[in-house]
Structure 1
Amino acid sequence: MKILILCTGNTCRSPMAEGIVNDIVKREHLENEIQVESMGFAANDGELPTANAVECMKEIGIDISGKRARRVLMEDLEQADMFYVMTDSHKNIISDAIPDDEDRVMVLDVPDPFGSGIEVYRECRDKIKTYFEHEFRYRLGETDGE
Structure 2
Amino acid sequence: MEKKKILFVCLGNICRSPAAEAVLKGMAQREGLADKLEIDSAGLTDYHEGEPADKRMQVHAKKRGYQLTSLSRPVDPIKDFDYYDMIIGMDDQNIRELERLAQGSQAVSKIFKMTDFCHDCSLEEVPDPYYGGAEGFELVLDLLEKSCRGLIDFLKEHV
Bucket of the pairwise TM-score, normalised by the shorter protein: 0.7 to 0.9
Instruction: Note the C-alpha offset of 1:103.
Output: 3.3
Q: Distance in 2 between matches of 1:37 and 1:138?
A: 18
1:17 paired residue among 9, 20, 27: 20
| CA RMSD, 1 decimal | 1.4
Instruction: Note the C-alpha offset of 1:40.
Output: 0.3
Give the structure 1 partner of residue 63 of structure 2. 59
Could you report, residue by residue, the CA deviation over 1:44-73 in whole angstroms, capped at 9, with x for unpaired residues?
211121121001101111111x32111111
Unaligned runs of 5+ in 2: 115-124
- Count of residue pairs brought into register by the alignment: 140
Range 72-81 or range 101-110, more displaced: 101-110
Which residues in structure 2 correspond to 1:103-114 (within 5 Å)? 103-108=109-114, 109-114=125-130
Range 1-10 or range 20-29, more displaced: 20-29
Could you report, residue by residue, the CA deviation over 1:7-34 in whole angstroms, capped at 9, with x for unpaired residues?
0100000011000010111112222221
Q: Distance in 2 between matches of 1:138 and 1:96?
A: 26
Secondary structure of 1:3's partner? strand
Give the structure 1 partner of residue 98 of structure 2. 94
Which residues in structure 2 correspond to 1:70-85 (within 5 Å)? 70-74=73-77, 75-85=79-89
Unaligned runs of 5+ in 1: 142-146
TM-score norm. by structure 2 comes to 0.81
Higher helix fraction (1 or 2): 2
Range 106-115 or range 12-21, more displaced: 106-115
Give the structure 1 partner of residue 118 of structure 2. none
> Percent sequence identity over matched residues?
25
Q: What one-letter code is carried by the residue in structure 1 that aligns with 2:14?
A: T
Instruction: Note the C-alpha offset of 1:135.
Output: 2.2
The list of structure 1 runs, each at least 4 consecutive aligned residues, that deviate by more than 3 angstroms after superposition, is: none
